[in-house]
Amino acid sequence: MKQIAKIIGVFALLCLLGTVSTYSQEKIRTVSEIQNLISQDSLEKAKTIVKNNIQFYKNKKQYDSLSEYIKLEGSLKLNNGKTQQALDKAKQLSDYITSSNNPHYIKIALHELSSLYHNSGQTEKAYNILKQAEAPTSRITDPENTDEASVQYMLGYYKMRTGDYVLAKNHYLKSLALYNKSTTKNYTSFNQVYTALGGILWQESKLDSSKYYFEQALNALNKTDSTDLKNKLFRPSLLKMNMSVLFNAMGKNREAISISYEAIEDFQKFIKTSNDEHAVKQAKGFVFSTLDNLGSYHNTLGEFKRTEEILEYSYALKQKEYEENDMNLIISHIILTQAKTTNQNFKDAELHLKKVIDYYKNNEVADSYWKASAYSVGGTLYEEMGDLEKAKFYYEEGDRIYKKISEGRYSVDDLDRFIHLSKFYVKTGEKDKAISAAEEAYEYSQNNSLKNTLQEFFQIQNLAIVHFKLKNYKKSLEYSDKAIAFNLFNKAEEMGTTDSIVIQYRKPTAILTNVASKYHLSENRTTADLKQYASELNKAISILDQRKKVVNNYDDLTILNKENNELFNFAKKILLELYQDTKDDSYLDQAISLHESAIYNRIRSRLNIRDNIAFKNVPNEIIEKEKLLKSDISKTLEKNNGDVNAYISASEKWELFMKKLQKDYPAYYKMRYETLEEPIKDLQEKIPENTTVIRYLFIEDKLNAFVVSRSKKNIFPLNNSTLESKIKELKVEDFSLEKKSALLHDLYKMLWQPLEESIKTKKVVVIPDRELFNISFEMLTPAPIKSFKEFTTNSLLAKYDISYNFSLLLYKDNRKVMDYNENYVGFAPGFNKNMKQEYLLGLQDSMKLDKSYLTLLPQPFSENLVKQYAKVFKGNYFMNENASKTLFINNAKEHKIIHIGTHAESDNITPELSRLVFAKRKGENLALDENSLYAYEIYNTNLSSNLAILTACETGKSIYQSGEGAISLAHAFNYAGSESILTSLWNIDEVSSTQIVEYFYEYLAQGLPKDEALKKAKIQYLFSVEGRGAAPQYWAGLVLIGDTTPIELQGNSNHIWWWIGGILLTFALLIFFSKNRKDRNHNT
């Protein structure tokens, strides 16, 4: 995740540049006329005027006027799109002007020529061309002349584009000094150089200095001629683009996104109104850069699908503007490869990677950052695909290029790359290479300015991890001891004290590695040893708990969750061994409690990084204060020489705020911050009567089942060696009875049979873990089935009333079931053809086109169901365009049943972005995702109800999932007030789900508990359907999550009696046909 941010983030760096400043003089009228002719495609007439005017000015020796024609000679339109021909003609005219030996004319000519080379993708050559103007302009003594300053600025610009930031900064600083020395105050030039320096300082992570220069750039811009189109639109847009990058670096991602759209809009206005061909070309380039920046901002927020969509859009625009092998397109291929890899769209990612690698193979291109990035991204792709041999080739080629261009001087990013490479070699079993990569980075941190810094700590810790994974436990113990002892408080003269706090926050991994090393080195572990290990791990968990308050971006969140999972897993393992050694139930309770708290910690951490989240019944000013206090803590740790007292002060303010939250907003405090290690004994007493809860949990990679009822609890180790492959096989859309029969029976033997003796109740609540969210337990069979109809008698569906939940902690509150006055409200967008046509007609900006909306399948059966039961239950419904997000938020609350018949998307990569899709309503905001209700938005929505029905077809691919998206949606609905949810585990058929829900409603109307009503509905569906429609894919995916108590519905009694009569008639017919079949068999 961190790698994609770095690679896409390079675009943010490339945009932090001033525009190419062209020589400004009173335009000759014929130049304006020529530009108008070119924009009108009157090319032959324009060519004639250019040719005649050049000859006229040559005869007059008017070099200043001739310089205006260099860019016209280099015009692609006037050269029929032939780049080299255009450059040759421009160079010929430039050479003529420079032969005058006048420094001013030389500067103008080389400036214009270098600009053409840069625009053609030859930036290094552009730099070398303009470098020839350095000496002549340095000899100018006129105090009003700014030619030398202009040359230095442009040299900095070109070096910035090629990635030589040190040299670029030197040129920019020289330029600023020369502008300040000149008696002429050209505020346009000041704007450009301040903007460029702001970008350089941003790149160096000196955000305060960066902000200063951007503010100076704005001040200078305000003093320029506002009637000039560039000053009115172009330069303000560029400044907005630059400020967006600064906002992103400061963690203000929503501001960054908003101001980026403003910049794009103004750039587009400039493109439409300007006749300057080269300025328009530049503006288009900046639009592409801004789009790529937008991708990086969404990436920072974990919005990876949106990142991919934006980068795809940018790539499509670039294809219209650039030739196939242009570097702008090559870079798009690289970042799209990484974006698609993150979204597990491996096939498309591989296609983009192939284009990049083919380009580098077929062209003599010098080794560069982008070439190294291409191979590094390829390594990531193939590692994710599981092709470690290919991944190794790409990683090693990328490593070779990185080392070559770095010439032994490694950046922090390079050292991170060594860490990743060492862990990759561990994965491939190449012990020597793994240690070599880790030691090379460690040695580098020992021998220069990185000594006694965070980087040294990271390298020590990485060596400990590498040795541990290679089972060199003595070495891992040695290095983890060093990491734990690493304390910058003792080296305050050399290092800022706040870095010591950051290191304390990163020590849980070192503690885990240390304890795990001692565990493996101890051959005869005693109970005392295990207790000591548990105590040390508790300290690490306590540090992680403190660290949550300073996590404010997706990279840090990813690291935190990874460390959290590894630490909690090993702690559970130790506690379980203590339970097995001592038979003391308290250790088992602690293990289960840790597992439950880890789920909530993941949800909470993801919510913490969203800067646009709101919560029901919590005032916005409280949320804003919460963000500000968290930001203050983070800022104290980001400063290189921060004062530890500032951190302590910020932390004290945070703790006071926590006390206020706990007192004034207890529900919100409990959901986000309350300690979660609830004693299982207390929870056990709150489990409903006649109910058994089965909590499946992985401890490391071993599956266990914790079976608990009011009176008993036990834990069963399960053999899950083939579980993952069987679940993946289950997801394959194969309706073969023979294959499914054996598979479902095998899963029964693996997951249910070992604990069945301890299940004494009819009602069972299943709480899955990880990949078990892909299984509907009702379809497991005690014996192989011979027909799908046998599910009605030979399955867990037939034997138990099964419901689901996502955590045992939900039994903590045991909240009272509410009785609402209103029975029913339904929402069914339908997504028919007319709705999509209306959406297209109302769309004005193609950049905001929601392609996924146009591909949503119509849902006529959901429409009919919602309409039908609104009448039966005397409720209300919203159809088609009226089933919008806004109307849903305003009308869904406080009904016994909320029926949402729409498309949904469960996002397991970024679970808080799981979403429900509503209609796009004409006249409302047509922003790309204004019709999506995301999981994180549900927390600020009142969905108080006894039951929310999400008969939603998954818009995503039906792939193997981890269940994180389902947990996120269920948690959000629970907080929003829904006591239970009927939803689907996978992409379920609309016809079958509609039929099952219809039966389910009828059983609910009879007063049955929700779990029993769903069971009977499924059985009735199986009786009614023929052929492959009885296969589990069609019915088993619908599951009930949460409370199971009945709902008191006041409906149409006549309708219900007719239905009951129909049921009796159906059973009578079944008995009649069954008797006849038996008689015939007897006679035979």
Please say if the pLDDT value at position 1017 is more than 90: yes
Angle of CA points 1002, 1005, 1011, to nearest 5°: 80
| pLDDT of amino acid 760 | 92
Per-residue pLDDT band for 823 (boundaries 50, 70, 90) equals very high
| pLDDT of amino acid 962 | 53
Please say if the pLDDT value at position 553 is more than 70: no
| pLDDT of amino acid 812 | 66
Model confidence pLDDT, tens digit, residues 237-272: 888 888 888 888 777 778 888 899 899 999 999 999
* Strand order, beta sheet including 822-828: 713-717, 702-708, 691-699, 763-767, 801-804, 1038-1042, 980-984, 945-950, 895-900, 822-828, 876-879
d(CA 506, CA 509): 7
Residue 15, helix vs strand vs coil? coil
DSSP letter for each residue of 771-837? GGGG--GGG--SS--SSGGGGGTSSHHHH-EEEE-S-GGGGTT-PPPP--SEEEEEEE----HHHHH
What type of residue sits at position 792?
Answer: T
Per-residue pLDDT band for 550 (boundaries 50, 70, 90) equals low
Please say if the pLDDT value at position 677 is more than 70: no
Please say if the pLDDT value at position 1065 is more than 70: no
Residue 207, helix vs strand vs coil? helix
CB 671 within 8 A of CB 601: no
Model confidence pLDDT, tens digit, residues 860-894: 888 898 999 999 999 999 999 998 999 999 999 89
d(CA 1001, CA 982): 11
Model confidence pLDDT, tens digit, residues 386-423: 999 999 999 999 999 888 877 777 877 888 899 999 99
Please say if the pLDDT value at position 672 is more than 90: no
| pLDDT of amino acid 827 | 93
In the chain, % helix, strand, coil (3-state, to 5) comes to 65, 5, 25
Model confidence pLDDT, tens digit, residues 139-153: 988 888 888 999 999
Please say if the pLDDT value at position 1047 is more than 60: yes
On whether the pTM is more than 0.85, the answer is no
Please say if the pLDDT value at position 551 is more than 70: no
Question: What is the length of the chain?
Answer: 1084
Please say if the pLDDT value at position 195 is more than 70: yes
Please say if the pLDDT value at position 625 is more than 70: yes
Please say if the pLDDT value at position 181 is more than 50: yes
Please say if the pLDDT value at position 385 is more than 50: yes
Model confidence pLDDT, tens digit, residues 793-807: 999 999 999 999 888
Per-residue pLDDT band for 733 (boundaries 50, 70, 90) equals low
| Tokens found for residue 860 | 């006529």
CB 916 within 8 A of CB 952: yes
| pLDDT of amino acid 1023 | 93
Please say if the pLDDT value at position 1078 is more than 60: no
| pLDDT of amino acid 18 | 44
Region 7-18 average pLDDT: 45
Please say if the pLDDT value at position 319 is more than 50: yes
Model confidence pLDDT, tens digit, residues 558-574: 666 677 788 889 999 99
Least confident stretch, 369-383, 630-644, 819-833? 630-644
Model confidence pLDDT, tens digit, residues 494-546: 444 444 555 666 788 999 999 999 999 998 899 999 999 999 998 888 887 77
d(CA 315, CA 321): 10
Least confident stretch, 472-476, 683-687, 1076-1080? 1076-1080
| Tokens found for residue 82 | 């032939």
Model confidence pLDDT, tens digit, residues 655-671: 888 888 888 888 788 77
* Residue closest to 766 by CA, chosen among 799, 730, 807: 807
| pLDDT of amino acid 647 | 66
| pLDDT of amino acid 552 | 60
State which CATH number among 2.60.40, 3.30.750, 3.40.50, 1.10.10 fits the domain covering 815-1051: 3.40.50
| pLDDT of amino acid 953 | 58
| pLDDT of amino acid 7 | 47
Q: How many CA atoms lie within 13 Å of 901's alpha carbon, on the beta-carbon side?
A: 33
Could you identify the residue written with the tokens 């070599």? 436
What is the domain partition of the chain in residue ranges?
487-677, 693-802, 815-1051, 1052-1084
Range list of H helices, 40-102: 43-60, 63-67, 70-73, 83-98
DSSP letter for each residue of 635-697? HHHHSTT--HHHHHHHHHHHHHHHHHHHHH-HHHHHHHTS-----HHHHHTTSPTTEEEEEEE
| pLDDT of amino acid 534 | 94
Per-residue pLDDT band for 1015 (boundaries 50, 70, 90) equals very high
Least confident stretch, 163-177, 468-482, 764-778, 899-913? 899-913
